[in-house]
Amino acid sequence: MKKVNKLRVEVKYWNTFLSTIIDTKELTSINDDALRPELEIEIKKIEEELEKRSFASMLSEKYDSEDAFLAIHAGAGGTDSQDWTEMLLRMYLRWAERKGFETEVLDMTPGEEAGVKSVTVAIKGRYVFGFLRSEKGVHRLVRLSPFDSAHRRHTSFSLVEVLPQIAFDDPEIAIDPTDLKIDVYKSSGAGGQSVQKNSTAVRIKHIPSGLVVTCQNERSQTQNRENAMKVLASRLMEIRQAEKKDEINILRGEYTKAEWGSQIRSYVLHPYQIVKDHRTEFERGNAQAVLDGDLDAFMEAYLKSTQEFDK
């Protein structure tokens, strides 16, 4: 039913666009100069909508239409990297807001002095995973550190993970309950009323793979457990897909080991401002706009490059 509903929405989406084009075409056939200003506005809207749909047409992978889990982890750089992780979180939340997507922070571990050590966010909307899969990898920040008394230039790294929110009962992912170790504990927080008095946070360890997933956002232990299981299922699916991909790449002679230092994108704020994607060579000079969530151009450049590679 979920698949049927998605297809129904998709068909309605295209039928509405087709009706708009037909109506506009009929108006142009009248040849009334008084209608020209209105028609020009309508045609511009159609062109803009067509551009958006051309972008969306590149989202044709298996899970592209699914919702997504976005996880960000601080890497090398100490307090700066934890602050950078929080900056990335803000960037993606701003991007999601621009797109009209729904977001929910499922789990967050704050840094000792500032920022965030790690965070997991659920993002729901049309083709969320398809958009966000371009963001998976190491992101590097170069700036004058606000945490350095000498105000020297620092380089920080954060790792971004993107997982499709597949259904827990997906037949490809069968999780044996006996393979799980489940612990409950009190949610951490800044103190005061925000700290949970009851043990509602959940930590699940998948023994065969060693994966550990935590969730402490909801006040309900049941809801936290359900969200943690969804994240675990998505991580297990990613591992299986990665194993298959590595096998294919080895056969093709294309296998390269992914290492922490192989950043996909650099955000330079000093001595000049630029954001550059190292996979596509696409770059923008307005770094602040990118950090405010203006990411579509980077996503589109990545999707175009992967399509060209597949050809």
Model confidence at 182: pLDDT above 60: yes
Q: Which residue has the tokens 């946070």?
A: 201
Max Cα–Cα distance, the chain, nearest Å? 74
Rg, Å, the chain Cα set: 23
Give the distance from CA 132 to its chain's centroid: 4
pLDDT at position 194, please?
44
Average pLDDT over residues 184-194: 59
CB count in 10 Å sphere of residue 47 = 9
Rounded Cα–Cα distance for residues 251 and 204 (Å) = 35
Distances 193 to 7, 22, 185, 187 between C-alpha atoms, Å: 44, 58, 17, 12
CB count in 10 Å sphere of residue 163 = 25
pLDDT tens sequence across 228-279: 998 998 888 888 877 776 655 555 454 444 445 578 999 999 889 999 999 9
- What's the CATH code, domain 68-169+259-310? 3.30.70.1660
- What's the CATH code, domain 177-252? 3.30.160.20
pLDDT at position 197, please?
55
Model confidence at 63, pLDDT cuts 50, 70, 90, reads confident
Model confidence at 69, pLDDT cuts 50, 70, 90, reads very high
Whether the ω angle into residue 271 lies within 30 degrees of 0, i.e. cis, is yes
Tokens of 118: 């790690």
Rounded Cα–Cα distance for residues 101 and 115 (Å) = 24
Query: Of 51-60, 95-104, 175-184, which one has max mean pLDDT?
Result: 95-104
180, with CB counted inside 10 A (0-12, 13-18, 19+), is middle
CB-based contact 293:95 (threshold 8 Å)? yes
Which of residues 260 and 161 earns the better pLDDT score?
161
Each domain of the chain, given as residue ranges in start order, spans 2-56, 68-169+259-310, 177-252
pLDDT tens sequence across 110-124: 988 889 999 999 999
